[in-house]
Amino acid sequence: MSNVFEVPQAGNDLLEKAEQVRLASIKISQTENKERIKALNFMADYLVKNIEEIFEANNEDYKNAEKKGISKALLSRLKLSKEKLNSGIEGVRKVGDLADPLNQAQIKRELSKGLILERKTVPIGVLGIIFESRPDAVMQISSLAIRSGNGVMLKGGSEANLTNTAIVKALKEGLHESGFDKNAICLLTSRKDSMAMLNLEKYINLIIPRGSNELVKFIQENTRIPVLGHADGICHLFIDYEANLDMALSVALDSKIQYPAACNAIETLLVHKDIAPFFFEKAIPLFNSNDVKLIGDKRSVELGIKYEANVEDWQTEYLDLILSIKIVDDLNEAITHIQKYSSKHTDGIITENLATANKFMNVVDSAGVFHNCSTRFADGFRYGFGAEVGISTQTLPPRGPVGLEGLVTYKYFLKGDGNIVDDFSSGKAIYTHKDI
Amino acid sequence: MSNVFEVPQAGNDLLEKAEQVRLASIKISQTENKERIKALNFMADYLVKNIEEIFEANNEDYKNAEKKGISKALLSRLKLSKEKLNSGIEGVRKVGDLADPLNQAQIKRELSKGLILERKTVPIGVLGIIFESRPDAVMQISSLAIRSGNGVMLKGGSEANLTNTAIVKALKEGLHESGFDKNAICLLTSRKDSMAMLNLEKYINLIIPRGSNELVKFIQENTRIPVLGHADGICHLFIDYEANLDMALSVALDSKIQYPAACNAIETLLVHKDIAPFFFEKAIPLFNSNDVKLIGDKRSVELGIKYEANVEDWQTEYLDLILSIKIVDDLNEAITHIQKYSSKHTDGIITENLATANKFMNVVDSAGVFHNCSTRFADGFRYGFGAEVGISTQTLPPRGPVGLEGLVTYKYFLKGDGNIVDDFSSGKAIYTHKDI
């Protein structure tokens, strides 16, 4: 992979930008909730004011991309329609409606007379975000960063550079108009700079990559800055022998075809051997009529699946209308397969047996464990978080779909009236540890 | 540093042990709170039963260490007195008194009719813990791991190998007696194995290093497993010009001398120029009479400090009766110095001016920000957490002193009755997002 990406040293220009964002992030961390909401509205207003300029830039990007022969899928993501832009601008205002993630008291405790401990949420500092070509992401990410009191360094796909530049210009004007330091948002336009960010652990507190699996993996392996995100999304659905057959068919189909390119779509279906003949009888024509290519293990092929799977199929995120299928002897074999191949994103079970469901949900160590519903629900908006920063497949928090709470941390505030530890050693003072 | 430590490939023996711990950790994650408390009591009982064997092993370790000419400080940490062992055993039972960190519901929400989302705390999995020679740490760490439903791989200082082996044998007997898989606790005795652990990201979910700064730094830089802990503890206290002078003297002294080898002791005192002459007049004789060597910047030397500081002093964790002092012009200079040199552990201010205190506490980005009290309070026991796993100086949670909650994570449980996402796209179903 080292021939695809590399991490260069940051140039002086980048270091200066990073320092500016860091200083701006300290200022924004001191602002009131109301001011941040006001800033979001100004940011939206200036996007509206600059709308023609943004469209022009986008047209230019689009023309250049067409010339370069970029794929249709990418072109369609790049294209900023009126609807897309308006809904993006509306999204900026909507982020203002979300609950303030800052200054939330998690602990308030009297440690001793006159000595009060508080743990409160605070911004993380500076976010480094590397994302794909969709230029609407710039608005969404910037508004989430500002809402949570963070500074942000952004790098989008280079084919959208002109569009992103125009959008960021408008966002900065909005920040400035509301009295904020416009350096809180910084756009990088070269791949060299975005990769050099990975070395800036003194300036950047969290990296959020939203791109190809290869890019995310490379970032995870090449920075000491914490990374929020996921590379693969290899999700499984296990059809237990005690499943409701109609439900199994409907949920399996939804989990695969509702949006096959999403990380929460399933790649592998595990089917209990006792239900397999009945399930396959209906599932094969159902998936065929929805253009899903089925690839099965030996036993599945014996039951009518056309293509035989090899070990790579269990490790592949197809992101396409392809589904691998394996017949398993029992719950344990299903769990063992999932433990081996799951990317720990989301794995589900269909069964009417509650004990079976509970065992599955307790033992499978994925961010989401689902019973009798589609894996496609694994999403910040569907979970009711209002906005999604990304989905994390790491074990430690933040895990799963991450909303604004993933963009804050906490710190401990201790206020006393001259308290010293020696008084507790000598017995002159005692701990009360009383939550207040 | 690569000539001091290196990360070898794990041998088959270590891989087998890791797999056993992983399997045991899955079993223990399924146990009830009551069972885990019972297991802790059995572990304590078996320590009592094996007490003679543990003392014998400790005597042997001590004799070998003496022969090798190990330092007095290390010898005293190695020595397991009757009191130390009894209090360690009592500690194992006390961990059973702490609140259950598992199965705590953080979110319970109806996403739509019949579709219920829960976010609950779950164990992390397998902890890898590398610690110094104190053999009592084995009891403390193992009991915290079991309490939180995790498996644990431990590596203590090699000079305590016999003692640690005897203690772990007793703990495993206790686990077994209570029906738990004894492989949930695994002791490693070679440095090679403990370093090879850093490559075991498939088996180990969190590394907690408790050792020298060099060891911790090496680990942080040489593993992709999340690391909980801190290398340096460079803590500051800023004496503002509006400080109560007596309080400033008392808190500064306590923050330095109450236990100078602790990570939460201060290394640098920042003194506002307007209070410096009055403060120094009393502080110099006070610190002198407590054998604290004072090293100051140019202006401090002009005011009577004997030794002049260089830039290295601001970067040094003395862990000793040495204190560096710098005179600053104002709050901003104090904050700038802290932002540059603090290890983000704990930094405090002494002032009677609330606005000044608030600005300091909000802008200084350390895990603990203290007003008018000693930095020595930065500690899990003093915060009322009951037990401390370690202190983390990273920005993202867990941050600061970490109790049992640092040993758990969460996952999302979604239960439905056949719900599919397509019904929401087509308008047949709607999101209710109602917390229940």
Looking at chain A, the whole-number percentage of residues with pLDDT higher than 90 is 84
On chain A, the residues whose CB falls within 8 A of the CB of B26 are: 363, 365
- Is the CB of residue A42 less than 8 Å from the CB of residue A175? yes
* pLDDT tens-digit readout, A160-218: 999 999 999 999 999 999 999 999 999 999 888 889 999 999 999 999 998 888 888 88
Q: Which residue of A has its CA nearest to B365?
A: A411
Q: Looking at the predicted complex, does its ipTM rise above 0.85? A: yes
Rounded to an integer, what distance in angstroms lies between the CA atom of residue B346 and that of residue B267?
A: 11
Instruction: Give Cβ neighbours of residue B160 (< 8 Å, ≥ 6 apart).
Output: B58, B61, B78, B133, B134, B135
Chain-chain contact of B111 with A382 (C-beta, under 8 angstroms): yes
Which among A268, A208, A353, A364 is positioned nearest to B125, based on CA atoms?
A364
Question: What does the mean pLDDT of chain B come to?
Answer: 94
* pLDDT tens-digit readout, B123-166: 999 999 998 768 888 999 999 999 999 999 999 988 999 999 99
- Is the CB of residue A120 less than 8 Å from the CB of residue A103? yes
Lowest mean pLDDT among A390-394, B290-294, B347-351: A390-394
pLDDT, position B251: 98
* pLDDT tens-digit readout, A75-88: 888 999 999 999 99
Mean pLDDT of A124-143: 90
pLDDT band at B2; cut points 50, 70, 90: very low
**φ/ψ (deg, to 5) at A324:** -95, 145
Chain-chain contact of A415 with B372 (C-beta, under 8 angstroms): yes
* Burial class of residue A124 (count of CB atoms within 10 Å of its CB; 0-12, 13-18, 19+): buried
pLDDT, position A1: 37
Candidate from A397, A417, A422 with C-beta closest to B258: A422
Mutate to test the interface with B, among A374, A391, A431 (most CBs of B within 10 A): A374
Which of residues A224 and A61 earns the better pLDDT score? Answer: A61
Looking at chain B, the whole-number percentage of residues with pLDDT higher than 90 is 84
pLDDT, position B296: 98
Cβ-Cβ pairs closer than 8 A, A with B, add up to 220
Is residue B255 scored above 50 in pLDDT? yes
Chain-chain contact of A412 with B376 (C-beta, under 8 angstroms): no
Q: What are the structural domains of chain B?
A: 12-221 (3.40.605.10), 235-377 (3.40.309.10)
Q: Give residue for tokens 């894996």.
A: A375
pLDDT, position A132: 77
pLDDT, position B3: 43
pLDDT, position B395: 93
pLDDT, position A323: 98
pLDDT band at B356; cut points 50, 70, 90: very high
pLDDT, position B133: 66
Chain-chain contact of A115 with B373 (C-beta, under 8 angstroms): yes
Which among A202, A255, A201, A207 is positioned nearest to A233, based on CA atoms?
A255
Cα dihedral A319/A324/A329/A333 (nearest 10): -40
**How far A134 CA sits from the closest chain B CA (Å)?**
22
Per the document, the length of chain B is: 436
pTM: 0.92
pLDDT, position B176: 98
Which SS3 state, helix, strand or coil, does residue B339 take? helix
Instruction: Give Cβ neighbours of residue B169 (< 8 Å, ≥ 6 apart).
Output: B50, B53
The answer to whether the Cα torsion of A174, A179, A180, A181 is positive or negative is positive
C-alpha atoms less than 13 angstroms from C-alpha of B127 in its C-beta half-sphere: 33
pLDDT, position B352: 98
Is residue B361 scored above 50 in pLDDT? yes
* pLDDT tens-digit readout, A328-381: 999 999 999 999 999 999 999 999 999 999 999 999 999 999 999 999 999 999
Is residue A133 scored above 70 in pLDDT? no
Q: Give residue for tokens 């007997």.
A: B173
**How far A63 CA sits from the closest chain B CA (Å)?**
33
Is residue B4 scored above 80 in pLDDT? no
**How far A67 CA sits from the closest chain B CA (Å)?**
35
Chain-chain contact of A395 with B412 (C-beta, under 8 angstroms): no
* pLDDT tens-digit readout, B199-228: 999 999 999 998 888 888 889 888 889 999
- Is the CB of residue A154 less than 8 Å from the CB of residue A142? yes
Highest mean pLDDT, choosing among A229-233, A391-395, A430-434: A430-434
pLDDT band at B71; cut points 50, 70, 90: confident
pLDDT, position A313: 96
Rounded to an integer, what distance in angstroms lies between the CA atom of residue A141 and that of residue A187?
A: 12
**How far A53 CA sits from the closest chain B CA (Å)?**
33
Mean pLDDT of B273-287: 98
Candidate from A26, A376, A412 with C-beta closest to B421: A376
Chain-chain contact of B258 with A421 (C-beta, under 8 angstroms): yes
Q: Which residue of B has its CA nearest to A414?
A: B370
Is residue A3 scored above 50 in pLDDT? no
The alpha helices in A239-353, defined as continuous H runs, are 245-257, 276-289, 298-302, 311-314, 331-341
Mean pLDDT of B297-321: 96
Chain-chain contact of A373 with B29 (C-beta, under 8 angstroms): no
**How far B182 CA sits from the closest chain A CA (Å)?**
19
The answer to whether the Cα torsion of B278, B282, B283, B284 is positive or negative is positive
**How far A385 CA sits from the closest chain B CA (Å)?**
9
Is residue A280 scored above 80 in pLDDT? yes
Chain-chain contact of B409 with A417 (C-beta, under 8 angstroms): no
On chain B, the residues whose CB falls within 8 A of the CB of A254 are: 420-422
Cis omega (within 30 of 0) for bond into B398: yes
* pLDDT tens-digit readout, B163-207: 999 999 999 999 999 999 999 999 999 888 889 999 999 999 999
Tokens of A186: 């910084």
- Is the CB of residue B392 less than 8 Å from the CB of residue B406? yes
On chain A, the residues whose CB falls within 8 A of the CB of B413 are: 361, 369-371
Beta strand A400-402 with A390-392: parallel, antiparallel or unpaired?
Answer: antiparallel
